[in-house]
Chain A
Amino acid sequence: MGQLVAALGASHNPHLLMPVERWEEVFEVLSPAGVPEFVRHGETTDQARAAMEFSERALADLRKRLDAARADALVVIANDQGVNFFSFVPTFAVYVGRRHATGRFGPHVFDYACDWELAETILDEAMDRHFDVAFMEEIRLQHTQNVPLYYLLPPGAPGNIPILPVFVNTYMDPMPTAERCYAFGQMLRGAIARSGRRVAVLATGGLSHFPGSTRIGEIDEAFDRWAIGQMEAGRSGELAALSSKALKDSGNIELRNWITLLGVVGDARARIAYRPSLWAVTGLAYGHWDVASPDAGSR
């Protein structure tokens, strides 16, 4: 029998792999009309640096938890941002290739072995549960995977475990409902159980932000804190019941990745560190779930 040994969530904001001194430079290209004044003047370099240090501390804590879990593989639930998928856009996709997954971010080169046997187990489980999941033989890792992986499985570090990229469509309409993402996560939990592996799962992205939109810089902190409250209370069903409109209106389309993870962990309780950062134009969030609790996978 396989076992879920860790469940983690982390923002994948590109700023986290850029020096804080150059965050202002990013303002110029983030939005169609430039970043609004309330963002530019709403935070100082020192506050941005504090957000960066907050993120580094939180991600270091997640790395300790991942190391302690002694996982055989890390499933990475992330969204594509028009890099791998364009003329064909799957709702859910699994990388089944036997070649390493690779990508670049500035000077950093990402190169990970992938657990293709676990991928095949997931596909078998998906078909058994009537999930018509796409699978891909080629992949280009992007910031949605690379940013958290930089901190959790540092590029080139000895002993890095294999990863398994799983994609959820969060950017191209029509997107899956929260309910469907949750059910997909439940399917993943079933696949983990039959895998014979010690499996860790990471969901990336979010929380509230509006990339590429005229609403860039807005952060729906109230929504973010409500969602975090539900996850910390083990009320996964509340998030699984969210409408697609609620996700879009609150800048939380990427919360679909986290809701997929909730399908994996069931009603296990989370601990989530949260800090909205205007200069990072995102509600930054980092969490872990108590997967050893009796409520894990109970829904």
Chain B
Amino acid sequence: MMNLRFSSAWNLNRLLYRVKVDEGFLPLLAADMERYIKEYGLSEKEAAALCSLDPARILDAGGHPLFARYVLRLKAQYASNIYWTQV
């Protein structure tokens, strides 16, 4: 069953939320992911999922389906995808 709660992985979802709504955060995260993993207090599993940039692993770590896909914005081949022109 798809997890539709934020609270199961609150710190991970806090970070993913910022990836979705804060355009200025993307380059900061890309430049120093370790810093934000510490700042947001991600668990080992959450950190590994984030570093993988794999939405499936993000979901598995408790990321909300509304946010998980947004890690793909950090992959060069998807950076200019038309989907990101809206929220």
Do B86 and A32 touch across chains, with their CB atoms under 8 A apart?
Answer: no
Q: Is B5 part of the binding interface, using a Cβ–Cβ cutoff of 8 Å? A: yes
B59 to chain A minimum Cβ distance, whole angstroms, is 5
In the bound complex, do residue B83 and residue A104 qualify as a contact, i.e. CB atoms below 8 Å apart? no
Residue in A29, A142, A212 whose beta carbon sits within 8 Å of that of B86 in the complex: A142
Closest to B18 in A: A86
Instruction: Specify which chain A residues have a CB less than 8 angstroms from the CB of B83 in the assembled complex.
Output: 14, 25-26, 29-30
Specify which chain A residues have a CB less than 8 angstroms from the CB of B82 in the assembled complex.
Answer: 18, 22, 25-26, 106
Interface residue SS majority, chain A? loop
| CB of B51, distance to nearest CB on chain A (Å) | 16
A82 close to B64 (CB less than 8 A): yes
Q: Quick one: closest A residue to B6, CB to CB?
A: A172
Q: Does B26 contact A (CB under 8 A)?
A: no
Against B, the Cβ 8 Å flags (1 = close, 0 = not) of A214-229 are 1000000000000000
Given the known A-B contacts A104-B86, A146-B86, A213-B2, are A32 and B55 also in contact in the complex, defined by CB atoms under 8 Å? yes
Q: A39 to B83, alpha carbons, bound, how many Å? A: 17
CA distance A14 to B58 in the complex (A): 23
Given contacts A14-B83, A17-B86, A106-B85, contact A171 B78 (CB under 8 A): no
CB contact under 8 A between A212 and B66, given known A32-B59, A83-B21:
yes
Number of interface residues, chain B, beta carbon within 8 A: 30
Q: Is B33 among interface residues, defined by CB-CB distance under 8 A? A: no
Which chain A residues lie closer than 8 Å to B55 at the CB level? 31-33
Q: Which residues of A contact B20 (CB under 8 A)?
A: 82-83
Determine the residue in chain B with the shortest Cβ distance to A144.
Answer: B87
The chain B residue with its CB closest to the CB of A18 is: B82
B4 within 8 Å of A (CB atoms): yes
**Do the beta carbons of B69 and A29 come within 8 Å of each other?**
yes
Do A33 and B56 contact each other (CB < 8 Å), given the known contacts A81-B66, A173-B4? Answer: yes
- A-B contacts, 8 of them at CB < 8 A, read A28-B77, A29-B84, A32-B58, A86-B6, A87-B14, A140-B87, A171-B4, A173-B4
Are B4 and A86 in contact, with the CB atoms below 8 A? no
| A29 cross-chain contacts in B, Cβ below 8 A | 69, 72, 78, 81, 83-84
**Chain B residue contacts of A175, Cβ below 8 A:** 4
Contact between A14 and B64, CB atoms less than 8 A apart: no
Contact assessment for A82 and B67 in the assembled complex, using a CB-CB cutoff below 8 Å = yes
A110-B56 Cα distance, complex, nearest whole Å: 33
Q: A172 CA to B69 CA in the complex, in Å?
A: 16
Known A22-B82, A142-B86, A212-B66: A82·B17 in contact at CB below 8 Å: yes
- Please determine whether A212 and B6 come into contact, CB atoms closer than 8 angstroms: no
CB closest residue in chain A, given B16: A82
Q: Which residue in chain B gives the minimum CB-CB distance to A142?
A: B87
